[in-house]
Structure 1
Amino acid sequence: MSAIAGIYNYGSDRPVDCAHLSGMIDTLAHRGGDGHGIWCEGAIGLGHRMLWTTPESLLEQLPMTRGRLTITADARIDNREELIETLDLRHYPAEKLTDSDLILAAYQRWGEACPEKLLGDFAFAIWDAQQQTLFCARDIFGVRPFYYCTVGRVFRFASEIKALFCCPEVPRQLNEAKIGEYLEVCLADKCNTFYQHIWRLPPAHSLTVKAAGLQLRTYWTPDPRTDLRLKSPQDYADAFLEVFTEAVRCRLRSAFPLGSTLSGGLDSSSIVCLARLLLAQQQSPPLKTFSAIFDATPECDERPFINAVLRQGGLEPTFVDASALSPLTELERVLWHQDEPFCTPNLYIHWGLYTAAQQQGVRVFLDGYLGDNVVYHGWSYREDLAHSLRWIKLAQVIQGTVQRSPHVSFWSLFWDYAWNGGIRPRIPEPVLRFRRWLLGYPEPTRRLRATTNPEFAQRIGLCDRLQALEKQSTFPGLRPSRQKHYLNLVSGDIPIGLEVANKASAAFGIESRFPFTDRRVVQLCLAIPSEQRLENGLSRMFLRRAMVNLLPPEVCWRDSKGDLSSNFDRGLRELEGDRLEQVLVKEVEQFQPYVNLPALHRAYEAYKSRPSGGEIPSVWLVLSLALWLNFANHLSQNAHSDRISRLG
């Protein structure tokens, strides 16, 4: 993890203002304290902040020029051996080839198709002096951030939004459409931000900037049509273990101490157990693990599962009592680093883990994020059975679920899947419409949350916008489970969550790495049939089979999942009660145009009297928006005052 920035006057030959570029790089100093550089030539300028993590990064100096090409990059390339072979770079010592060297060589060979050939996490920009183009690209899930602005035919980009505001021409005008989407928990738009003139480069996209303008291109999308067929369930498990082991191995490349989250869940435990094995084989120092515990809210505590992994040895554990932390821990610092409101309620827990990791010198931090999205749980296998009218098999699968969850009614669940998955899709829409009229059911429409201001929603056309965004593209002929898995992988909340994690870890000089985002793992998991996920009411079966010899049995076969909501509720009520009252009741000026205040106050009062009820999402959304609006307004006023003082 490093930082990149740049300015390109693509509409003229006017030289770049190097002072502005220098200011951008200074603002990103927290992302890289091991060096910085600026390169300017006429209308183009590139900048970089370096954080050393891999052994090769110690040799890297960016921006870097090779002939007609100049690059700045925030990248870790994982298929190094393959690229060195394919690009005929074997005559160079591999340990001296940096990841930027490989990206430049890939661009020289494949041009703008080069991102398709790269595995890993990256955001980079290459200036091609011969073509007079700036070529930018971002990895498939958006692990590394990339924001840009094109005001006045000047293209500016940076790893974080705050750096763009170092250029006085970049306006801080709020994007009300994004505010509306946020209040409705719609994260489908992967391009826009909370500022009108600032955009994010979407994951799996490249962007070419030339005098004629900007061209955005998708270079990869998961293919849901591939169907993997192997002989036995164990074969699927073995195939997954082989690919997942490589994904973890690639992410262990570090010249500094390695850490990992260990929650006791399947995802983080699988990563930790594999990393422990690989590090032992390499005779490397043991992995440092960081686990949240909950002394004050024992119902959230996962120590029995965490300790089961630790008892296998070969790890250096650290525990952080998350019940002593507020969900608004170090609020101003968090808001400064995030640049936008964050709807991630458990960010404060990771903030505590990163704090502990930094104190132990960790620079690389493994994380099980996206395990659910990529491996997928398998519950929609029941929809496949209903869709294909396999009623006996559906009954058997549902019986397995009921045996693990006695409170679930067999016939209620069976009818739900039979009707929604098998019968209803075969009934013509006019007949369904007549049925709704006959039973007095309303027509299905997109309804707004009660806390969204209806006048604001009408003014910006929010309902129409949400319906357009939520109309997801589908592949005809796919089984329901494959369709849902695919839509899960291309969901807009994935890059948002990864950006939040990236900026949070960057605050501590730490690079987060996510083995489940590996393209090879994603492609394999999407191709595995749904029946390999669900067995006897237990989900994610091929992952469990793959890890059976590495995970403790109580972790491998657990059928529960940690629920941290009560600790979040307690933290807000007991540690932040006064602040909630101040922000949501007394200081409403900033968010009043966007929020239905009577509905908010009803939700807030209900939350205070019944904190475990359903009001907390609405309260948290408005609270996080209000806190960010106050903070952003404060920053804007300070920036305005600074400009006036400079003019004076």
Structure 2
Amino acid sequence: MCGICGFTHAQPEDAQVLKNMCDIMAHRGPDGEGAYLANGIALGHRRLSLIDLEGGYQPMVRKSNHHVSELISAGQALGTNKKPNDIPVVSQNGEYAIVFNGEIYNYRDLAAVLKAEGWVLKTTSDTEVLLTGYIAWGEKVLDRIRGMFAFAIWDEQKQILFCARDFFGIKPFYYTVQQEQFIFASEIKSILEHPAYERELNREALEQYLSFQFSALPETFFKGIYKLPPAHSMVVHPDGHIEMKQYWSPLFNEASEGCSLHEAAERVGEAMRESVHYHNVADVEVGSFMSSGIDSSYMAALLAQENPLVQTFTVGFSEYEGERDEISWAAELAEKLDVSNTNKHIAQDEYWKALPYVQWHMDEPSGDPSAVALFFVDQIASKKVKAVLSGEGADELFGGYKIYQAPMATDRLGKLPKPLLRASAALLRKLGIRGANFLERASETVAEWYYTNANGVSFTVEERERILKNPVKAPDPLEVVSPDYQEAQDHDFDEPTQMQYVDIRNWLVGDILLKTDKMAMAHSLESRVPFLDKEVFAAASVLPLDMRVTPEQTKVALRKVSLTAIPTDWAQKEKLGFPVPVAAWLREPANAQRVKTWFESPEAQLFFNKDELDRLLNEHLAGADRSRKIFIVWMFLMWYRMYFVERTSPYQAEETPTTYFPGNYLNNPNQSPTITTE
């Protein structure tokens, strides 16, 4: 895992700009750095070394012929340069140059294919295999690789920059075009270091964030900076023109006819065992996260079969210490598997102090309280290993969310006339009888209630229009996800499968995988996700619905196969997630005052109606749970101050902690500087 960046229309004097872009991402790659600056192209790289520790430095440059002598590595280990303030730069022309973030797990298989075709490889790195694969097979290399990746390849022959992002969006890739100059990076903060970009807030992103709790649009919170979508590649021409295309889609296929649950589970198990084997490939130790649930428990058990000395890591919260929490479940399973487990109970004070660091590393505001838990589990893991396996993606692929069961419960009612259902729901609500929400859900399409009503923790369109001072009338959440729903319907997916597909295309990449990458990289740790492997998805995609989710059970086939590796109590356990006690914490007087101070800050006055903010906090203190809405607004305010007002990181502010949190500013809002929207 690494940090990459670069731009077109580069001049020799731009070496310092490239270095600045690399340095701001030093946490992504503390082991090495390098740059390519030639042909008007600048490519920068920060390295976290996990494969071919001596030979895998980047950028990597080579000619199109098969001769090994033509391969050049532009990078070097940190500390080896005689001028420590200089980034090692290769300016020698090469027909191809690459910067790459991620891992190609089947690179050894592909290396054998390339050698059989006559190619000579100088290193044992996956970077060289990826670059040589592009030279040999062109864009079709994407059809052959298994892994997580974001990369850019300068193709001198075609005079193009070829960029691509992995199948599910595990690795981030941001870009902007400024007066024909294409600029890209693994993190937005790197692009902000380029003088051609002038930061400007994208207000439409704020409105969607209030509804989704994450940045849900292709354009980020920074106007003009975009995310390359998952499973997309793009060709960048010298004039800044971009040709983008989708090279893969996570489509669920027709179920295998006559396949028993046992056979289906075996197929899933075979794919998972192979995936864990590939994800364990490294020249450093690979550990595993382990929570109380089936996903990480099964994954860790498979890794323990590969490596009996594997180290596992778990976090929980001090409020639950002594209870049957994440840590107690994980510690007991670790004992049964005979593997080590390092764990930590997160104290409330630690949680609050971590917030600005989390928001800085996320680049865009995150209203997900569990990101802080990831921050700490990554922290404790990074002290012992350089890479970990994590269980993200299992819920989306195998039907793990209980909300996927909802259409089954309302299926019969859904056949009744919609006006009748709505009128009945209104009557029940008026009479105070339970069941109104159930009838309302039955009267709506999956798309209507799944992303607008069912969540219940973020803001509806009406609520965000009330709370914002100057709403820009951004599209409602239904409009944002409707293209994905339409595609799912075009393929005749049933309603739970529609949900899975839309989650993969939105929630998974926009929230789950983003925090997985950013929180791990905050601690220079690589997070690998074996469930999000092409072959694992292939096994999941042909499961009949009743082998994914039924009215009684979620993840049916996955639970079945997990019994071959973990005890029944873990295989059948319901999903717990990261239970963050924010709701209770925010009712404590000191914490309520912290929030109130932020809600009275100049930033809040700029964007939000104070009466609505006060109402949110007062309702929460009176007993209603408004914690997620409070948290969503609070994190935006903290993020905005960091990126648009003070324009410093919390690490720079450690000497003067009044900048963020905690500190004197919380008690005296007048200390805040004058602010504007740009």
TM bucket normalised to smaller? 0.7 to 0.9
Q: Which has the higher contact order (CA 8 A, sep 6+)?
A: 1
- CA deviations 1:50-99 (Å, max 9, x no partner) are 11112x25411211111111111112101224423443448789894311
* Counterpart mapping for 1:239-258 below 5 A: 239-258=267-286
Corresponding residue for residue 40 of structure 1: 37
- CA deviations 1:365-423 (Å, max 9, x no partner) are 11112221121138688678x6xxxxxxxxxxxxxxxxxxxxxxxxxx5xx33112xx1
Unaligned segments of structure 1, at least 5 residues? 281-285, 387-412, 640-648
1:418 to 412, 415, 422: 412
Task: Report the AA paired with residue 134 of structure 1.
Answer: L
| Structure 2 residue 162 is the aligned partner of structure 1 residue 121 | no
Corresponding residue for residue 194 of structure 1: 221
* Counterpart mapping for 1:516-555 below 5 A: 516-534=531-549, 537-555=552-570
- Provide closer, same or farther for how the CA distance between residues 378 and 161 of structure 1 changes in structure 2, counting only shifts above 3 A: closer
Corresponding residue for residue 8 of structure 1: 8
| Structure 2 residue 147 is the aligned partner of structure 1 residue 151 | no
Corresponding residue for residue 209 of structure 2: 182
Corresponding residue for residue 468 of structure 1: 479
Q: Are the aligned partners of 1:37 and 1:47 in contact in 2 as well (CA < 8 Å)?
A: yes
| Structure 2 residue 390 is the aligned partner of structure 1 residue 367 | yes
Corresponding residue for residue 393 of structure 1: none
- Provide closer, same or farther for how the CA distance between residues 559 and 168 of structure 1 changes in structure 2, counting only shifts above 3 A: closer
| Structure 2 residue 615 is the aligned partner of structure 1 residue 602 | yes
Provide the secondary structure at the position in 1 that maps to 2:611. helix
Provide the secondary structure at the position in 1 that maps to 2:307. helix
Q: Are the aligned partners of 2:290 and 2:300 in contact in 1 as well (CA < 8 Å)?
A: yes
Q: Are the aligned partners of 1:453 and 1:593 in contact in 2 as well (CA < 8 Å)?
A: no
| Structure 2 residue 118 is the aligned partner of structure 1 residue 87 | no
Corresponding residue for residue 335 of structure 1: 359
- Provide closer, same or farther for how the CA distance between residues 457 and 177 of structure 1 changes in structure 2, counting only shifts above 3 A: farther
How many Å separate the matches in 1 of 2:286 and 2:159? Answer: 41
Task: Report the AA paired with residue 363 of structure 1.
Answer: K
Corresponding residue for residue 407 of structure 1: none
- Provide closer, same or farther for how the CA distance between residues 93 and 365 of structure 1 changes in structure 2, counting only shifts above 3 A: farther
* Counterpart mapping for 1:579-594 below 5 A: 579-584=594-599, 586-587=600-601, 589-594=602-607
Using the TM superposition, name which of 264-273 and 222-231 deviates more: 222-231
How many Å separate the matches in 2 of 1:136 and 1:488? Answer: 25
- CA deviations 1:569-590 (Å, max 9, x no partner) are 3378477444223212x31x21
- Provide closer, same or farther for how the CA distance between residues 339 and 482 of structure 1 changes in structure 2, counting only shifts above 3 A: closer
Using the TM superposition, name which of 21-30 and 84-93 deviates more: 84-93
Using the TM superposition, name which of 477-486 and 244-253 deviates more: 477-486
1:356 to 363, 380, 393: 380
Using the TM superposition, name which of 207-216 and 324-333 deviates more: 324-333
Corresponding residue for residue 68 of structure 2: none
- Provide closer, same or farther for how the CA distance between residues 168 and 379 of structure 1 changes in structure 2, counting only shifts above 3 A: closer
How many Å separate the matches in 2 of 1:440 and 1:347? Answer: 38
Q: Are the aligned partners of 2:213 and 2:368 in contact in 1 as well (CA < 8 Å)?
A: no
Q: Are the aligned partners of 1:39 and 1:47 in contact in 2 as well (CA < 8 Å)?
A: yes
Corresponding residue for residue 644 of structure 2: 633
How many Å separate the matches in 2 of 1:89 and 1:616? Answer: 59
- Provide closer, same or farther for how the CA distance between residues 301 and 203 of structure 1 changes in structure 2, counting only shifts above 3 A: same
How many Å separate the matches in 2 of 1:159 and 1:28? Answer: 8
| CA positional deviation for 1:568 | 6.0
| Structure 2 residue 20 is the aligned partner of structure 1 residue 23 | yes
Q: Are the aligned partners of 1:261 and 1:367 in contact in 2 as well (CA < 8 Å)?
A: yes
How many Å separate the matches in 2 of 1:66 and 1:175? Answer: 40
Q: Are the aligned partners of 1:327 and 1:568 in contact in 2 as well (CA < 8 Å)?
A: no
TM-score by length of 2: 0.80
Corresponding residue for residue 557 of structure 1: 572
Task: Report the AA paired with residue 373 of structure 1.
Answer: E
How many Å separate the matches in 2 of 1:378 and 1:578? Answer: 35
How many Å separate the matches in 1 of 2:426 and 2:570? Answer: 48
Task: Report the AA paired with residue 448 of structure 1.
Answer: T
| CA positional deviation for 1:130 | 0.8
How many Å separate the matches in 2 of 1:592 and 1:201? Answer: 33
Using the TM superposition, name which of 532-541 and 543-552 deviates more: 532-541
Using the TM superposition, name which of 532-541 and 434-443 deviates more: 434-443
Unaligned segments of structure 2, at least 5 residues? 64-94, 428-439, 453-458, 653-678
Q: Are the aligned partners of 1:147 and 1:198 in contact in 2 as well (CA < 8 Å)?
A: yes
How many Å separate the matches in 2 of 1:506 and 1:594? Answer: 31
1:50 to 47, 58, 79: 47
- Provide closer, same or farther for how the CA distance between residues 131 and 563 of structure 1 changes in structure 2, counting only shifts above 3 A: closer
Corresponding residue for residue 297 of structure 1: 320
Task: Report the AA paired with residue 2 of structure 2.
Answer: S
| Structure 2 residue 98 is the aligned partner of structure 1 residue 75 | no
- Provide closer, same or farther for how the CA distance between residues 208 and 39 of structure 1 changes in structure 2, counting only shifts above 3 A: same
Corresponding residue for residue 55 of structure 2: 59
Using the TM superposition, name which of 91-100 and 210-219 deviates more: 91-100
Corresponding residue for residue 512 of structure 1: 527
Provide the secondary structure at the position in 2 that maps to 1:329. helix
- Provide closer, same or farther for how the CA distance between residues 440 and 579 of structure 1 changes in structure 2, counting only shifts above 3 A: closer
Q: Are the aligned partners of 2:105 and 2:281 in contact in 1 as well (CA < 8 Å)?
A: no
How many Å separate the matches in 1 of 2:356 and 2:574? Answer: 38
Corresponding residue for residue 669 of structure 2: none
- Provide closer, same or farther for how the CA distance between residues 596 and 117 of structure 1 changes in structure 2, counting only shifts above 3 A: farther
Task: Report the AA paired with residue 621 of structure 1.
Answer: I
Over aligned residues, Cα RMSD in angstroms? 3.1
How many Å separate the matches in 2 of 1:234 and 1:274? Answer: 19
How many Å separate the matches in 1 of 2:648 and 2:215? Answer: 31
Q: Are the aligned partners of 2:583 and 2:625 in contact in 1 as well (CA < 8 Å)?
A: no
- Provide closer, same or farther for how the CA distance between residues 109 and 475 of structure 1 changes in structure 2, counting only shifts above 3 A: farther
Corresponding residue for residue 233 of structure 1: 261
Q: Are the aligned partners of 2:8 and 2:238 in contact in 1 as well (CA < 8 Å)?
A: no
Task: Report the AA paired with residue 53 of structure 1.
Answer: L
TM-score by length of 1: 0.83
Corresponding residue for residue 389 of structure 1: none
How many Å separate the matches in 1 of 2:213 and 2:190? Answer: 26
Task: Report the AA paired with residue 608 of structure 2.
Answer: V
- Provide closer, same or farther for how the CA distance between residues 568 and 348 of structure 1 changes in structure 2, counting only shifts above 3 A: farther
- Provide closer, same or farther for how the CA distance between residues 16 and 519 of structure 1 changes in structure 2, counting only shifts above 3 A: farther
Q: Are the aligned partners of 2:287 and 2:387 in contact in 1 as well (CA < 8 Å)?
A: yes
Q: Are the aligned partners of 2:102 and 2:150 in contact in 1 as well (CA < 8 Å)?
A: yes
- CA deviations 1:238-293 (Å, max 9, x no partner) are 1000001111111112222322211111011011101001113xxxxx11111123
Using the TM superposition, name which of 451-460 and 304-313 deviates more: 451-460
| Structure 2 residue 342 is the aligned partner of structure 1 residue 315 | no
Provide the secondary structure at the position in 2 that maps to 1:328. helix
